[in-house]
Structure formats: structure tokens, C-alpha cells
Structure 1
Amino acid sequence: MKKILAIGNSFSDDATRYLHQMAEAAGIETKVVNLFIGGCPLERHWQNIETGEAAYQYRLNGKTTERMISIDEALREEQWDYIVTQQASHDSGWMDTYEPFLGLILDHIRQYTGQHMPQAELLLHETWAYETGSTHSAFMRYHRSQEEMYDRLKKCYYAMAEKYHLRLIPSGDIIQEARQQEPFRVSEGGISLCRDGFHMNIPYGRYLLACVWMKTLFSVRASELSYVPEPEEGEEPADEALLARIRQIVDMAGR
């Protein structure tokens, strides 16, 4: 069994919503935990480590639970294979919001994993730029430009990954690439990968993220994936042609 711990917010919630089910359909047994606080930045993650506060809602295999937990309690819970963190989207393009907090968080986790789970790999999850026309209050920090936000956050994530010798889960890159492809060109009337201007579309945006995580963590090509998300309450079944297009985009990304 592969065990994945995400220390994040609603963006890691989007990323992990289908991951367990997608891996299961591919014959990979997983436990996927997301430590959730909406909009939580690195600075607050570090503050929560310092206080030991059980401030996170424990989300297991894409499902919400009532359990509240601290980061250290979550670290002790399992022999994790992958531990993933990220910056909050609103701060993602501002280098001065990453430090010293990311370094402190990584040092804290590495002190524990070095003693108790040396197999654990730490990764950064590259978040994504807001949709064109997003009404998110923080979008003005990027002059309401998706391209500016993407360029800034990419620079930050790549710099931090290099500094701390971390692999990057390149969700932001692949989402931006998908936005240049049919049928996701919003400027031409295409389908938005966001549901509200910043969180991922259900199911297509979340499906894309799960494909990216499968490719990064398990080296599984998206074309090999058979999982089809079950419709959420009130949602239409997923269009399998669109899912196939997403798999194609993920496989082609970075070539």
C-alpha cells in the first residue's frame, strides 16, 4: 500500500478527491489523507506545528470526516511514502511568503522522517493560476492576469523545489497547458477547468489533477487509467470523451 499525506487546503482537496479511487482502478492500493484548512498558507502551517493545534480536518481517500488532527499526530499515524505540501493560492506568486516557513516545515518533517520513516519522500504541489475573469479577491495582486499569476507562481515553486531538492507535482503547469488546448480555451467560449474561478471543475479539473498525481507519484501514464468519476449529487455523468481528452493532454504535457 502506498500512503500519501497532503498538508494543504482546498487546492490539495481538489487534487486528492479522486486519487485513491483512480489508483485503486489501476491496481494500486493507497491511503490518501489531506489535512484541510481552507486557504491555509505555509505561514499558518508552521504556526500550527509550533502550537501543536489539532486545526486540520482529516479527509481520507477523498472523503470528509469529522476528525480534527494536528500535523505531528498525522505524521505519527502511518509510515508515509509521500508527504506533500504547497503554498496557498493567493500567496503562490510571492516569493517572500514561502520563507522562512517552507524551510522550517521541511526541517521539522525531515527530522521526524529521518528517524522514523526514511522511505518518505517530500514533494511540493505546484498550484495553479486563477481562471480568466476570476472574482477572487486576491486576483488583483496579479493585476487580474492569469498569465502573470502563472508566471509568478511557477517561478516560486521551481525555485523552492530546487532549493530544497524536492520533486514537484506540476499541476499548475499542466492546467495552464490544458487551457491552451481544445476544448478548454475559455477565451474562445471553451470549458473552464475551474468551477468558481479558482477551485477545480467537478469532475474534469479534479480528474486532471488526479491524473497528474498518478503520473508523478506512480509513473502511470494517463492513457492507462480506466477510472471514471461517479457523478456528485445533482451532477451529470462525466463525458468520457472529455476525460479521454484530459488523459491525452496530461500524457503530452512536458514533451
Structure 2
Amino acid sequence: MHIRTISKQAGRFVPVLFCLFILQCVSAQKPPLRLFLIGNSFSQNATQYLPELSREGGHELIIGRAELGGCSLQRHWEHAVAAEADPKDEKGKPYNGKSLKMLLSEGTWDVITLQQYSKISTDLSTYQPYAGKLYEYIHKLQPNARIVFHQTWAYRSDSEDFGQLTGGGEAKSEKEMWEKSRAAYRTVAAALHTTVIPTGDAFWQISADPKWAYRKDKQFDFKNPPQSTLPSQTHSLHVGYSLNKEKMNFDSHHAGPAGCYLGALVWYGFLFQESPVRLTFRPETVPADFAGQLRKTAWNTVKKELKASVH
């Protein structure tokens, strides 16, 4: 009697256990997404927290990088040309002693990204012919890869400079820098029949939000700052003010923890076409309520981009 009961109960659980085993096998067999970045410090910023988000979301991710500080599309292309002309030329191997061709040839890549140097991202004339040449060069090396553009962000509202404009001059505000850069990225992407990762759009959505936007501290004495004291920088997506041996430095260009987090959320949503809203990881310095808003903003921005790319 006892043996029969055990057998009967075991029989009930066999199908369930078998299904779980199959699901585990399918999950284990899912290939990792292989992502390759051709950029600079902005691509480093935007993907800083992407590995953590991907792990939490159950996605295996492999990232390859060809990044140089302040590097433009033109400079990346000129390095590639130098390597093709003479594989031994050091100019052609600026990525820790390797050329772009060498790095791209290290396996098969699923998604490859390109971006313009932020300072000139507002000037459409700086993209071509380099964007097109790089696109064609990459496609020959990785014909099955999806090549997209990473739309970088505008500098913080209290920046002392913004991007240069086509025909001369400079953008006057964060909004103008976002508008001009956005237009340039989309013009080039459309010409090459591809799309963009809308990081810059997500940054602007936060900067334009009355509740969540960064506002310069009006109570702080910037001309005679108190020693070892920084102004309030609540909701700043950029590095902003920092202390180095009691000296106050200012970086209105690069992303701080919140900006790096927002960028990674946008990349997560774009790459996996999946909402990051449910994810719980956040940098310790980003408050929970702000992190929640960044997750929502990232996904709303990505959804608009994905919808637009279908039409």
C-alpha cells in the first residue's frame, strides 16, 4: 500500500519535473547577446550598469569595445584606414594595440553601435562621409550584425558650452543641443536605413520634467564656494560639481551615476525590447523614487523609438 501510494504520487510529479527540466534546458541554450561598441567615454557611461541590469533580467550579455576618449566618427574611420593601408602602423591600432578590424573579427557580433563625439554631434556636416564609410566597413566584416547609432545626450543646463552648429556658432542651451543632435543622428540613421538607441531623448525627458529636472542651486555661492562644500545637485544626470583635494571641479558633459543608470536602462529596453521597469537594481547613490522615474522614462522613450522604427 505504501509503495503504491508513493508511485502514484511520483507519477503526478513526473510531468511537472519534466517541464521544468525542458524550460531550464531551453534557457541554458539561449545564446548570449553579443554587443560591440564603437565610441568614447559616452558609450562607456551609457553601458556602465548594463551588465547588472542584463543579469537581473536573465539575459547573458557579452560586450566588446573600441572606445577612445573624445573620439569622433572621423577619427575612428581614419584609424581603420591606417590599419588597412599598413597592418603594422600603430595609428591603425589605437584600441590597446588592436585595430577595429581585429576587434570586430573576434567572433560574431549581434549588435554594433556607432556614435558621434558629443561636442560635434549637433553638426550634421561632421557625420558624413565617415558614418557611411564605417557602416559599410563594419557590414563587410560582420554582415549579419545589426548596426545602429547611439544617440548621445546634451550637456547639463548650467554648462558653460554646448555643441557646435552646422555652418558655425554653438548651441545656446541644453534644449537646443538636444534638438540639433537628435536631428543629426536621425538624419544619418535614416539615410543608412537603421535606427538609434535614444539615450539623448531619455535625458531630455528628465531635464524637461518640472518635478524631476536638475535645477542649479541658487543658494550656493559659486564665486566664493565654502571649503570642502558642494552645491545641491538633486536629480542631476551629469557629473556636475565634485571635490578633488578640496578643489571644486565641474563636469557638465559626462553622465553621473543617475545618468549612467538611465543610459543603461535605455540600452536594456532597446536591446532586449523588454521593459526595465520591473528591475530592482540601482546604484546606491540614486534615490529609490528617482530610480523609479528613470526606469519609467527609459521604457517610455524606447517604446516610442521602437514604434517609430516599425513605420
TM-score range, shorter chain: 0.7 to 0.9
Q: 1:112 & 1:252 partners in 2: Cα distance?
A: 34
Among 150, 155, 163, the residue aligned to 2:178: 150
CA contact 1:125–1:171 (8 Å) conserved in 2: yes
Structure 1 residues 92-136: Cα deviation after superposition (integer angstroms, max 9, x where no partner)? 01111001111111111111122xxx2x10010001111112135
Unaligned runs of 5+ in 2: 1-31, 84-91, 218-233, 240-250, 305-311
Larger Rg: 2
Structure 1 residues 18-69: Cα deviation after superposition (integer angstroms, max 9, x where no partner)? 112210111100111232211100100100101122212xxxxxxxxxx442
Change (3 A) 1:135 1:211: same
User: SS of the residue aligned with 1:6?
Assistant: strand
Unaligned runs of 5+ in 1: 57-66, 232-236
Q: 1:130 & 1:188 partners in 2: Cα distance?
A: 14
User: SS of the residue aligned with 1:181?
Assistant: coil
Change (3 A) 1:241 1:68: farther
Among 258, 273, 284, the residue aligned to 1:219: 273
Does 1:245 find its partner at 2:293?
Answer: yes
How far apart are 1:167 and its partner, in Å? Answer: 1.8
Change (3 A) 1:96 1:29: same
Aligned to 1:16: 47
Among 246, 252, 263, the residue aligned to 1:209: 263
- Aligned-residue Cα RMSD (Å) equals 2.0
Does 1:81 find its partner at 2:110?
Answer: yes
Does 1:125 find its partner at 2:150?
Answer: yes
Does 1:199 find its partner at 2:224?
Answer: no
How far apart are 1:138 and its partner, in Å? Answer: 5.4
How far apart are 1:248 and its partner, in Å? Answer: 1.8
CA contact 2:46–2:264 (8 Å) conserved in 1: yes
CA contact 1:142–1:148 (8 Å) conserved in 2: no
Does 1:29 find its partner at 2:60?
Answer: yes
Among 66, 88, 92, the residue aligned to 2:121: 92
Identity of matched residues, %: 29
TM-score, scaled to structure 1 = 0.85
Q: How many residues were matched structurally?
A: 234
Which amino acid in 2 is paired with 1:123? V
Which amino acid in 1 is paired with 2:64? V
How far apart are 1:183 and its partner, in Å? Answer: 4.6
Q: 1:205 & 1:121 partners in 2: Cα distance?
A: 25
How far apart are 1:178 and its partner, in Å? Answer: 1.2
Q: 1:54 & 1:16 partners in 2: Cα distance?
A: 23
CA contact 1:194–1:200 (8 Å) conserved in 2: yes
Q: 2:114 & 2:139 partners in 1: Cα distance?
A: 13
User: SS of the residue aligned with 1:55?
Assistant: coil
Aligned to 2:221: none
Q: 1:47 & 1:176 partners in 2: Cα distance?
A: 32
CA contact 2:149–2:185 (8 Å) conserved in 1: yes
1:150-169 aligned at under 5 Å gives the runs 150-169=178-197
Change (3 A) 1:222 1:167: same
